[in-house]
Amino acid sequence: MLVIAWWEVGHKEPIYLVTNMEVVGEACCWYARRFRIETFFSDQKSRGFNLDKSHISDPERLARLMIAACLAYIWIIYLGVVSKQDGWVGIIHRTDRCDLSLFQLGLALLEHFLNEDKLIPVKFQMPPLKSVR
C-alpha cells in the first residue's frame, strides 16, 4: 500500500491518496482522470441510463447490457456535440448559459427530435483501412 501527499503548485492544501499502485506518478495520473471516470459512471447510472436499477445479476447478461449502454453513450455524446456545433443548445436548453454535459445535451437533443418528429442524426464511421504492403 502506498500513501501519497500530493500538493500541486497553486493549491492551498495537499490531496492525500491511498493506493495499491507502486508508482507515485501513475497513482496521481489516474487520480487526475477520476472526474471523467466518475462522470461516465453517473451517466451510466443515476443521471442517464439508470443501469443500477436493472437488477441483472447474471454476469453475461450484464456484460451485454453494458456493451449496448456504452455504444448508446458514444452516440448520445455525439448528439451533444451536434447540439453545440449546429446551434441546438438555445432551443433545447437555456440561452444565457449552458451548464449541461455533452451527455445531458445529447439526451435533450434526442428528446427534442423525438417530440418534434425530426430526423435523428446517426453517424458511426470507421476510418478507411490502409492497405498493408
Task: Please report the DSSP string for 58-102 in residue order.
Answer: -HHHHHHHHHHHHHHHHHHHHHHHHHHHTT-HHHHS-SS-----H
pLDDT score for 44:
83
Over the stretch 55-97, which tens digit does the pLDDT of each residue have?
A: 999 999 999 999 999 999 999 999 999 999 999 999 999 888 8
8 part of a folded domain:
yes
pLDDT of residue 131: 67
Please check whether residue 42 lies inside any domain of the structure. no
pLDDT at 35: 74
For residue 106, tell me if it sits in a domain. Answer: yes
Q: Which domain holds residue 19?
A: 2-32
**Is 15 domain-assigned?**
yes
The 10s digit of each residue's pLDDT in 7-45 is 888 889 988 989 998 898 888 888 888 777 777 778 888
| 106 contact partners, CB below 8 Å, separation of at least 6 | 75, 76, 77, 78, 79, 80, 81, 82, 83
